[in-house]
Structure 1
Amino acid sequence: MDEEGLPCEDVLALLREYLRSDKTFASGKILGSMCTQPHRFASAVYASHLEKNLGDPGLFPGTAQLEREVVHMLGRLHSHPGVVGHIVSGGTEANILALWAARNLALEAGEKERNQVVVQKGGHVSLDKAANMLGLELVRVERNERYQFDTTALEEKISEHTLAVVGVAGTTDLGVIDPVQELSEVVAEHNIYLHVDAAFGGMVTPFMEDLGYDVPKYDFRLSGVCSMTVDPHKMGMAPIPSGGILFRGREYWDAIRTKVPYLGGGEAIYSTITCTRPGASVVATWALFKHMGRRGYRETVRRIMDMTKTFLDGLSDLDWLELVTHPMMNIVGVRPSTRRESDVQKLASLLRQRGWSISSFPTHIRIVFMPHLQEKHVQEFLDDLKSLSHFFGS
């Protein structure tokens, strides 16, 4: 830190220089992110409530009440308004909290041998982090031909050591929804904790169902589901950080709670990893949900699914490209028909040279159609793909 400070104008000039290399959602060139430009109204609300700290609910009881209402709204969206939970830093923290609860419940029941968590190979890296932090073993199983959790492989892996199973609604690489109904039936036979990571899909698929899309059940309609991760700061357009953890009942929440005697008259209880938490995230998310309503989100999802269809229609004219699997939501995986990893990486490199921000995996590139995009951006991307055909022998 310098001894003397600078005038605000000079600091802002320095910031502009540093941030010049950052990508912007407004450019329409970001096609690989599972986040988006926060809604303008939510951003304004967030900026007006920066002092709110959910780590001290005694000082901010109104903000704490808003958090309960946001959790209730997310619960209603997923067929169980009686959920308990929190708005947290993101899907990673939410997944850690879920497995923390599962572990503690097993320990309370005297089941110390339960230390394995089973997930499909496309499960998020946060599950590796959670297992490492909690002293658990993560077991990744094969996927079926649709890149979903292979339930046959699951049944082969279940043993007396199985603590939890994690299904995914919107995998990171392909946006696939696991057959959670089948997972729910399997775990019920063995008294195993079932968590659903719907960090991305949780703010997409309820509105797809409203629009008539055939969406596999994965939420609290299934009796085996104990907890869910749902992130408003992804397709919900809330400001970052606004992740969400939902527990079916208070017994799961209680398993990880810590009482803080010096706050809230000794009544402050934490069931999150962090103590200090930005109340502005909760205030902004509550305001955005009230502003958008189910209809507003439904129309947003209609628009992004229309863009997804535009892309798929355009892709049919590019015989040198193919889908990895037919998309289940607004995440699409494509690859050169050669299927060579070197060609996948060459495609990713050529697109980045043209200014596109996309995600690349060894097997494909991932495109995520988010609310910051417009139809013209999709067409521009298709045009650039057409211009690259000669690099791949077409």
Structure 2
Amino acid sequence: MNFQHGIRNMTTLPQTGSDWNNLKAHLRDLKKGDAKWKEGRLPVYVYYYTEELLRISHEAYMEFFNENAMGSTAFPSVAQLEKEVIEMGLDLLGGGPQSGGTFTSGGTESIFLALKSAREWARTEKGIERPKIVMAYSGHVSVDKSAGYLGMETVRTPLRPDRRADIKALEAAIDERTCMLYASAPGYPHGVIDPIEEIGALAKKHRLWLHVDACVGGFLAPFVREIGNPIPPFDLSVPGVTSLSADLHKYGFAAKGASLFLLANAENKKYHRFEFSNWPRGSFLSHTFQGSRAAGPIASAWAVMNALGHEGYCEIARVIMDTKKRLIAGVQKIKGLRVLEPGDLCILMYDSIDPRVDVYAVAEHMGKKGWFVGRSTTPKAIHVVLNPAMTPALDQYLIDLAEAVEHVRSTQEVGNVDHRSY
């Protein structure tokens, strides 16, 4: 048997318990091979600002570690926190007095609820039994994932040259079974915001549900605009927008998993509500896919939002946009590289214009230096999602990137696309 700190590497439940100090040491050993997110070497999955904010998030989460958000009558404190988080989200993202929302476990669940709502709405209001979603090619894969569960179909349409949704292509794809248009703010592959106002007008013209995926941008774009950057209208205030998703565990800096599914009209919550009473326990009601729900993420989101406030989020937006400018300038100074898409917010791409420098090989060499590097396939490029953790690491990143480019140029190595998706 293999032991580390007295812990067996086995797949069966041990007969006797182990000392917690040994277990904790083993957990920490396991993490040694993970990406170093606090050092700014992981531009995805983890969103980190300061140790103080992380402590606030952690302590708030632990205050509600055991509570179950499913039991709102048992835990009115959790219900109150959830209500306040939703109301703050609506206030930030264009909601009005008639708007409402639901706290979910993440962007995928928020998007799932959007599709579920649109499906039930289409069946009720339009008599469509197997509805379709029309979306740009850059829309998030969770739409297709959710559609597969819900028995819906997706139609992806070509992009404009600027990689935004093409209105004419969207309209050409609409048919009698279309129930939803889907837009991104921003799209994850390219980091650009679709023309939401035009898509909203299209949705109104054809009487369609319009969902805006602001999972990345929801808690960043309003503050990027507030500090003086041009951000086009994208939220619930745009005519024609029916619903919107925004992840709190991304640029809201809350603990995983925390997201909001927001509706311009709270009356539409009935379309993602599940009710059942034909069993021995009586009535059951839920607005999420989950049954039991962790209360910790709700408390974390509430604490972080109140601790940061507008000023704190604006400062984070300023850090991210300043870092983006530095990264663009640094990449453009490296011979053979080109910033391909600077994006509207926090996502950018760069590629190689030197036939001797394969950008995937550059990514692989950066990986050997301890950087977690995302890769885009269309176009072939390196994909970067900025968060404040990368700011202090940026100078070293650019030094290593220049060295990686020269290494690949001299060896003419060819890399492979990394198929792991995020």
Normalised-by-shorter TM-score class: over 0.9
Compared CA separation, residues 55 and 61, structure 1 to 2 (3 A): same
Q: Which runs of 5+ in 1 are unaligned?
A: none
Q: Which residue of 2 aligns with 1:67?
A: 82
Read off the aligned partner of 1:14 and give its amino acid letter.
H
Is 2:61 the counterpart of 1:50? Answer: no
Percent identical pairs in the alignment equals 29
- SS of alignment partner, residue 39 of structure 1: helix
Distance in 1 of aligned mates of 2:318 and 2:220: 10
Q: Which runs of 5+ in 2 are unaligned?
A: 1-12, 411-422
- How far 1:393 moved relative to its partner? 4.1
Q: Which residue of 2 aligns with 1:175?
A: 191
- How far 1:270 moved relative to its partner? 1.1
- How far 1:322 moved relative to its partner? 1.1
- SS of alignment partner, residue 145 of structure 1: coil
1:195-214 pair list within 5 angstroms: 195-214=211-230
1:369-388 pair list within 5 angstroms: 369-374=386-391, 376-388=392-404
Is 2:34 the counterpart of 1:22? Answer: yes
Distance in 2 of aligned mates of 1:96 and 1:11: 37
The one-character-per-residue Cα deviations of 1:294-338 (angstroms, maximum 9, x if unpaired) are 111001110111111111111221231112223211111111114
Match of 1:321 among 337, 343, 365: 337
For CA contacts below 8 A with separation 6 or more, give which structure has more relative contact order.
1
Is 2:105 the counterpart of 1:89? Answer: yes
Q: Which residue of 2 aligns with 1:368?
A: 385
Indicate conservation of the 8 Å contact 2:38/2:48, yes or no: no
The one-character-per-residue Cα deviations of 1:97-136 (angstroms, maximum 9, x if unpaired) are 0010000011112522561101111111110111101111
Q: Which residue of 2 aligns with 1:346?
A: 361
Read off the aligned partner of 1:387 and give its amino acid letter.
E
Indicate conservation of the 8 Å contact 2:47/2:251, yes or no: yes
Aligned residues: 391
- How far 1:73 moved relative to its partner? 0.5
- SS of alignment partner, residue 180 of structure 2: strand
The one-character-per-residue Cα deviations of 1:326-361 (angstroms, maximum 9, x if unpaired) are 321111111111489x92321110110111012112
Is 2:292 the counterpart of 1:259? Answer: no
Indicate conservation of the 8 Å contact 1:200/1:230, yes or no: yes
Is 2:94 the counterpart of 1:79? Answer: yes
Distance in 1 of aligned mates of 2:46 and 2:214: 12
Q: TM-score, with normalisation over the residues of structure 1? A: 0.94
The alignment's C-alpha RMSD in Å is: 2.1
- How far 1:162 moved relative to its partner? 0.8
The one-character-per-residue Cα deviations of 1:33-62 (angstroms, maximum 9, x if unpaired) are 464467321111112210121111111112
1:1-394 pair list within 5 angstroms: 1-33=13-45, 35-36=47-48, 39-82=54-97, 83-112=99-128, 115-259=131-275, 269-338=285-354, 343-362=358-377, 363-374=380-391, 376-391=392-407, 393=409
Q: TM-score, with normalisation over the residues of structure 2? A: 0.88
Compared CA separation, residues 144 and 290, structure 1 to 2 (3 A): same
Indicate conservation of the 8 Å contact 1:122/1:172, yes or no: yes
Greater alpha carbon shift after TM alignment, 220-229 vs 113-122: 113-122
- SS of alignment partner, residue 89 of structure 2: helix
Read off the aligned partner of 1:383 and give its amino acid letter.
I
Compared CA separation, residues 364 and 51, structure 1 to 2 (3 A): same
Distance in 2 of aligned mates of 1:303 and 1:182: 31
- SS of alignment partner, residue 372 of structure 1: helix
Indicate conservation of the 8 Å contact 1:260/1:270, yes or no: no
Q: Which residue of 1 aligns with 2:8?
A: none
